[in-house]
Chains A and B, each alone.
Chain A
Amino acid sequence: MSLSIFSVQLLTGLAYGMLYFMIAAGLTIILGVMNIVNLAHGTLFLLGSYMAFTFMNQQFSFWIALLLSVAVTAVIGIIIEKLFIRQIYGKELEQVLLTFGLAFVIADTAKWIWGTEPQTMAVPALLDSSISIGPMVFPFYRLFVVLIGCLLALLLWYFESKTRIGAIIRAGVDDRAMVSALGINVGVVFTGVFAFGAGLAALSGVLGGPLIGMYTGMESDILVTSLIVVVIGGLGSWKGSFIGAILIGLIETFGKIWFPSLSMLIVFLLMVVVLIIRPQGLFGREVA
């Protein structure tokens, strides 16, 4: 394999890894802070990308559509948290049923609104160019996705370790009762975290639009991949998701070259290996 082909593959793997990171980060943060596996997370990704598609059809630019759909999805997140999830904190089976049911309702609503035809989104004009790598070309848009993913990681790191809210959230993960005893409104924190996670899912959906497109059933494809990322990275750890997502992105891409018919199997295999060596995931903490 020549160096230029290798670089194209590497960047492609990274771009997909970053998309997985954006959606898995939301999933894992919600899991870590609120102790909820949000099975409707994939449909928020779906909603984000379909809404941006609609906004763009209304002649909004890609950027405005991106902002609007992230904002609207975050608001939907707030509504879901306040209306439903709030009722069943700590009740695990109910949470599974509820979020799984929501996933169906949202996915079917999306089907009703946007139909079943697969759709796609145009790459924004500003990024619609490509760079040459040796004899190959690489779409600039994918580099942009990689960049956004890295920025998000940086932002999360700053947020978590340098801000007060980050400290509250870290404390909340460790001891919820103590945090509320200190006079902090845990409910507000939870709503905020859920909205943030929903917004991230939408961000990933919109940025993924020009790469993956929109089609019925995409929500469960993406949910399975992001659950695997979360498991590999360690439950509740966004850093783990960052590394896990990049690993999955690269393995999928290079797997296609070396073992064309086995690329999905390799992803599951990686999960199994990680779980055997480190059952808590790469960055997960030992749990009692």
Chain B
Amino acid sequence: MVGKGKFWSVLFITIMLILSGCSGSAVSNSKSNSSGEKDTIKIGVILSSTGTFAPLAESIKNGFNLYLEENDNKLGGKKVEIKFEDDEANPQVALRKYRQLVKNEKVDILVGPISSAVAYALRDEVEKDKIILIDANAAGNDLSWSKKSDYIYRLSFSNWQNGSSAGEYLAKNVGKTAVAIAPDYPAGKEVVSAFKEAFEAAGGKVVKEIYPKLGTNDFATYLTDVAQVKPELVFTFMAGSDGIRFVQQYNDFGLKGKIPLSGPMEFGDQLILEPTGEAAEGIISGILYSPWLENEENKKFVEAYQEKYGKLPNTFSVGGYDSAKVIDIAIKEAGSTNAEDLIKVLKGISFDSPRGPITIDPKTNNPIQNFYIAKNTKKDNQIVPEVLETVEKVTMPEKAPAN
């Protein structure tokens, strides 16, 4: 027989623990001796290493570490002391970790975060403390618009860029009517609205927008909806395991091959291509990076990455790699680790990334970069995003488009 009281307390404790995300596995690995000497710099990296964002965090960390390794653990000629912290994708936890890094550890530069909610939470703090934050991932548009800060520079891409890059190509070459599907959270809405703007400007029409809950297991409901609406194409923004399930179920429910599937960079990225395999064949996406991009920088990067980690890099690994690289170049150019000096060189800084040339646009603190329209194609038993067209210098508008 089961005591009711006991079961309830157990259930209550469990649910509280799980819902409060009590997954405190800190991943700090400090490199020993902290000296006050001027020839070392301290970098704090805040990523979401537990939960859904874990694979992104791992890729960014791998990319960052690879750059350090290639440069004898030095950035801008200074020895690097690095601290990794896990924010659990929770702005409150992130603020705590931030204070730890800035007040106790006295880090010189911050790198991070994955989640835009965390980035917005950190924004006012870095302004107040005058600490440079190199944004290795968070894609929220407002970091370039209403919440733009002189202290924050994005090395990844914005939701606006990611959503709009393929819009024109799709309207001109694939179909005029689209159903857009994205998770029901700010990034989902931002990507879809950027897609809609670009797609409709090129003569297309988004006939239906569907927003499933983030972390949806099953898309049967939405896919039957699509089958009924019969658009000329489907544009879907889904990341991580949601994206994998979506691609697989699009195939399972017989839509693959009937209605072309398209999406932003996620659907042409290794994180989704590798697990989904053939189910991802034929998807058209607007990517900013692939291990098969042909340029010197990328050849070197892919080789070194594969050697160190035994797998192909993805778009997020490049974000991590470039975050280290931009710090390296900025310190060299500024000849200082002082935030005000760094700001002067970070605005408008250009360099060659494995994804191609990028320039931080001083109007938005967001990279001006090429996007590539790619179609997932089978080559040597592997699904590869084959580039169909290059969209040169995708630049975020200075202000949010009025609509």
B-contacting residues of A (Cβ < 8 Å)?
Answer: 5, 8-9, 12, 16, 31-32, 35, 37, 39, 92, 96, 100, 104, 108, 111, 115-120, 122-123, 130, 135-139, 141, 173-174, 210-218, 220-221, 223-224, 227, 231, 235-236, 252-253, 256-257, 260-261, 263-264, 279-280, 287-288
A131 to chain B, nearest CB (A): 10
A9 vs B276: C-alpha distance when bound (angstroms): 24
Nearest Cβ distance between residue B114 and chain A, in whole angstroms? 12
Q: Are A212 and B51 in contact (CB under 8 A)?
A: no
Q: Give the A-binding residues of B (Cβ under 8 A).
A: 1-4, 6-7, 10-11, 13-15, 17-18, 23, 25, 50-52, 54-55, 57-58, 184, 211-213, 215-218, 220-222, 224, 227-228, 240-241, 244-245, 248, 252-254, 271, 274-277
Q: Is the CB of B275 within 8 A of A227?
A: no
Chain B, Cβ-Cβ closest to A222: B217
Cβ–Cβ contact A39 & B218, under 8 A: no
Q: Which residue of B10, B227, B240, B254 is within 8 Å of A130 (Cβ)?
A: B254
Chain B residue with Cβ nearest A231: B11
Residues of A within 8 A of B18 (CB): 220, 223-224
A132, chain B: closest CB distance, angstroms: 9
Could you say which of A31, A96, A220 contacts B2, with CB atoms under 8 Å apart?
A31
Nearest CB of chain B from residue A33's CB, rounded to whole Å: 10
Supplied contacts A116-B54, A215-B240, A256-B213, 6 more A-B pairs, CB within 8 Å: A37-B11, A120-B276, A122-B277, A139-B252, A253-B218, A253-B221
13 A–B contacts from the bound complex (CB under 8 Å): A8-B220, A8-B224, A16-B218, A96-B14, A116-B58, A119-B275, A136-B224, A211-B245, A213-B244, A213-B245, A217-B54, A218-B241, A287-B1
Is the CB–CB distance between A137 and B254 below 8 Å?
yes
Contact A210 B14, beta carbon cutoff 8 Å: no
Residues from chain A with a CB closer than 8 A to the CB of B215 are: 221
| Given A130-B254, A137-B253, A260-B211; A115-B58 close (CB under 8 Å) | yes
User: Is A260 a contact of B58 with CB atoms below 8 Å?
Assistant: no
Query: A120 contacts which of B6, B220, B245 (Cβ < 8 Å)?
Result: B245
Contact indicator B52/A287 (Cβ below 8 Å): no
Residues on B with C-beta less than 8 A from A141 are 252
B209 CB, min distance to chain A CBs, angstroms: 12
Contact A216 B2 (CB under 8 A): no
Of the candidates B15, B252, B274, the one whose C-beta lies within 8 Å of that of A117 is B274
Which B residues touch A260, using CB under 8 A? 184, 211-213
Contact A92:B245 (CB < 8 A) given known A32-B2, A220-B18, A253-B220: no
* Inter-chain contact A210/B184, CB cutoff 8 Å: no
The answer to whether B10 and A37 have CB atoms under 8 Å apart is: yes
Closest to A118 in B: B241
Residues of chain A with a CB closer than 8 A to B248's CB: 120, 210, 213
Residue of B nearest to A2 (CB): B228
Give the top 9 A-B pairs by smallest Cβ distance, nearest first. Answer: A116-B54, A118-B241, A137-B254, A215-B241, A139-B252, A12-B220, A116-B55, A117-B55, A120-B275
